[in-house]
Amino acid sequence: MRRDNLTWGSEFVLLGLSSDGQTQAGLFILFGATYLLTLLGNGLIILLIGLDTRLHLPMYFFLCNLSVVDICSISSGVPQMLVHFFLEKKTISFTRCAAQLFFSLALGGTEFLLLAAMAYDRYVAVCDPLRYMSMMGPRHCAGLAAVSWLVGLANSAVETAVIMRLPTCGHRVLNHVACETLALIRLACVDITINQVVIVASSVVVLLVPCCLVSLSYAHIVAAILRIRSVGGRRKAFGTCASHLTVVSMSYGMALMTYMQPHSTASAEQNKVVVVFYAVVTPMLNPLIYSLRNKEIKAAVSRVLMKSSESKF
């Protein structure tokens, strides 16, 4: 099946991050270690939440979903990147490219929506604590998580279909490490105004709207914290939100900088570095941020280790 000199079975050539052998060897070690740390960190969080009944709370339910997203997200592109460091010609088939784009967009959108759900959870916990258990019951949490996944998948299906149908007129070289939205659009040999409108609309649904909801939630949270008279109370209330706020600032900030400006004057190289950092480093940092700043996670690690050591004797 042919589409303007691009068939479903044809291949794209990826330029990657560097063509220098020594640089690629160093990047392989760096990204390989990052990938392993991401799997280990997020896997540990999922395991802890599953084993420790004290963590069977709404916030950790969403955190578990976020860890699943991070594992799937980094696994959709990094293994291929690691293999390509040893290949002179880095290629990817049209079908694999479409699948990679779909999963990266779906998981990215789901993550933004889950972060918004977590912000709502923190809002209820701080601003309406007496109704917390009724407002954030198992059904409500499952519903919020399900909506996050379904909207992320639906949005990705639409955006992927619109982008992958663009004719490239034989252009096959992608200046990127993976099949990414802006890199694919740069290959188009037709007017892409409609595609840019779709990208902006998609960004509004899964990025801008959740970002506004997070901002609104934290505006109420800050107002509620300022009404607390004791310094210790304020510190405790803010401490319950600090980890989530750190992850939100990092994730939304980089995504807004990249995808809400399709006419950006930023070069393809700059965009590539930002996207790679967001796709590779952020999933690794999320579990570190939550584990280092969360006393309950640290306590859960201690309890699991104690049970493990007791079972040996």
Is residue 167 domain-resident? yes
58-92, pLDDT tens digit by residue?
Answer: 988 999 999 999 999 999 889 998 888 888 788 88
pTM score, whole prediction: 0.86
Using CA atoms, how far apart are residues 161 and 156, in angstroms rounded to an integer? Answer: 8
**Could you tell me which residue, 243 or 113, shows the higher pLDDT?**
113
DSSP secondary structure letter of residue 11: E
pLDDT-derived band of residue 258, with 50, 70 and 90 as boundaries? Answer: low
Using CA atoms, how far apart are residues 72 and 122, in angstroms rounded to an integer? Answer: 25
Is residue 1 domain-resident? no
Is residue 243 domain-resident? yes
pLDDT-derived band of residue 25, with 50, 70 and 90 as boundaries? Answer: confident
Angle 21-51/295-311 helices, nearest 10 degrees? 80
Q: Over 70: is that where the pLDDT of 263 sits?
A: no
**Residue among 20, 57, 34 nearest 294 (CA):** 57
Is residue 4 domain-resident? no
What CA dihedral angle connects 172, 176, 181 and 186, to 10 degrees? -50
Structure confidence at residue 264 (pLDDT): 47
Is residue 164 domain-resident? yes
pLDDT-derived band of residue 4, with 50, 70 and 90 as boundaries? Answer: very low
Q: Over 60: is that where the pLDDT of 31 sits?
A: yes
Domain that holds residue 147: 9-311
Give the number of domains in the chain: 1
Please state the separation of Cα 267 from the chain's center in Å. Answer: 23
Three-state secondary structure of 124-159 = HHHHCHHHHHHHCCHHHHHHHHHHHHHHHHHHHHHH
**How many CB atoms are located within 10 Å of the residue 269 CB?**
12
Please state the separation of Cα 126 from the chain's center in Å. Answer: 26
Take residue 124 and report the two structure tokens written for it. 């209820």
Is residue 56 domain-resident? yes
**Could you tell me which residue, 166 or 260, shows the higher pLDDT?**
166
What CA dihedral angle connects 23, 29, 41 and 215, to 10 degrees? 0
Is residue 123 domain-resident? yes
Q: What CATH number corresponds to the domain at position 30?
A: 1.20.1070.10
Is residue 135 domain-resident? yes
